[in-house]
Amino acid sequence: MSDRATAFALAFDSEFKSQTAGLSPKEIPLFRALHRALVAAGTRLAVEEYHGTSYQVGFSGNGSYARVHARCELSDLLIIVFTRNPPAARITYLQAKSERRMFPSPCRHSFSANLEQWFLLRNRPPIAGFGNFAPPADLLSSAILPSVGSFGFFYRTHNGLYEIYYASAAQLQPPTTYSQRYGSLVPVGGCGVIIASGHLECVAACGSVPFAESLYRLEIGTPIDPSISRAASTRSWLTGNLRKIQQATPTIGGRREIVDELVSLLRAEDTPDHSPSGQLGAKNIIVIRSDYRPN
């Protein structure tokens, strides 16, 4: 199964390089290229994409990196990866950022970022939605792994090609104390995969290929399958809203079986407290069915 993870990663890397060739280091075009590359890499595998809306959430900040009564969006992209045998699923809210400077190593670089959003994804406080966006208050705080919140930084190498530095929000920190919402984040360790709470977790990946491999191997994001009792409210909310999105926005090529399988795997125990609005708090949602068998 590792060969399929490598095939997915190489297909993603090739597509990402092709999609970003000649682009200026602007965040929105690069994010769109990331999104298209993930979908294209799944043409031989199993990927479905959906369009969402980035609603904001409110939470209590620390008065330094985040306002006491803070409010910001969750992320640019929600990625859900699952495998059927044995049943497992992971989710991560990934915020994409573009780094305009060139540098020798992402593991030692200081990346520009919105520190209020980093505080949200790093500290995972209880949240409240606005309008018809009604996520469970413990969507982030109930996660057993920190990579429920993550960042993807686009950067150019010496040959002019774009790469991705992925990191769990917990793997980043400001280099000094700020009393402002914008500043910089630096990695607190190297790239690699660790064991956390009994699960493999990629804390950081230096490049498009290792990022995509860890994604396919279910090493990115927090587990939400039925064996995780504390994820019950997330499963219920997620499945109801995926169904709503599925009905309102057909996937590329009209495929729907992947989300059907995911919903069946999650086996949500309870009905949501509110009628599903079809909003999951990200501009785009990607669902990947992997054939990898996690230990």
For residue 206, is it within any domain?
Answer: yes
What pLDDT, on the 0 to 100 scale, is given for residue 54? 67
pTM reported for the whole predicted model: 0.90
Over 90: is that where the pLDDT of 207 sits? yes
Which tops the pLDDT comparison, 13 or 55? 13
Number of domains in the chain: 1
For residue 185, is it within any domain?
Answer: yes
What pLDDT, on the 0 to 100 scale, is given for residue 295? 60
For residue 177, is it within any domain?
Answer: yes
For residue 131, is it within any domain?
Answer: yes
Beta strands in the chain (DSSP E): 47-51, 56-60, 69-73, 75-84, 87-98, 111-114, 128-129, 149-156, 162-168, 172-173, 182-187, 192-196, 199-206, 222-223, 282-290
Mean of pLDDT over the chain: 87
Burial bucket for residue 48 (CB in 10 Å: 0-12, 13-18, 19+): buried
Phi then psi for 58, rounded to 5 degrees? -105, 150
Compute the average pLDDT of residues 81-95: 94
The predicted-structure confidence for 166-183, as pLDDT tens digits, reads as follows: 999 999 999 876 667 788
The predicted-structure confidence for 47-80, as pLDDT tens digits, reads as follows: 777 776 667 999 999 888 889 999 999 999 999 9
Helix, strand, coil share (%) of the chain residues, nearest 5: 30, 30, 40
CA distance linking residue 18 with residue 9, whole number of Å: 14
For residue 77, is it within any domain?
Answer: yes
For residue 2, what pLDDT band results from cuts at 50, 70 and 90?
low
Residue the block writes with tokens 């607190």: 188
The predicted-structure confidence for 243-292, as pLDDT tens digits, reads as follows: 888 777 554 444 568 888 999 999 866 555 557 777 888 988 889 999 88
Q: Which domain holds residue 265?
A: 2-290
The predicted-structure confidence for 99-150, as pLDDT tens digits, reads as follows: 877 777 788 788 989 999 999 999 999 999 988 889 999 999 999 999 999 9
What pLDDT, on the 0 to 100 scale, is given for residue 273? 52
For residue 295, is it within any domain?
Answer: no
For residue 204, is it within any domain?
Answer: yes
Which tops the pLDDT comparison, 88 or 47? 88
What pLDDT, on the 0 to 100 scale, is given for residue 128? 95
What pLDDT, on the 0 to 100 scale, is given for residue 251? 47
Maximum average pLDDT range among 82-86, 174-178, 202-206: 202-206
For residue 235, what pLDDT band results from cuts at 50, 70 and 90?
very high
What pLDDT, on the 0 to 100 scale, is given for residue 269? 60
What pLDDT, on the 0 to 100 scale, is given for residue 258? 86
For residue 134, is it within any domain?
Answer: yes
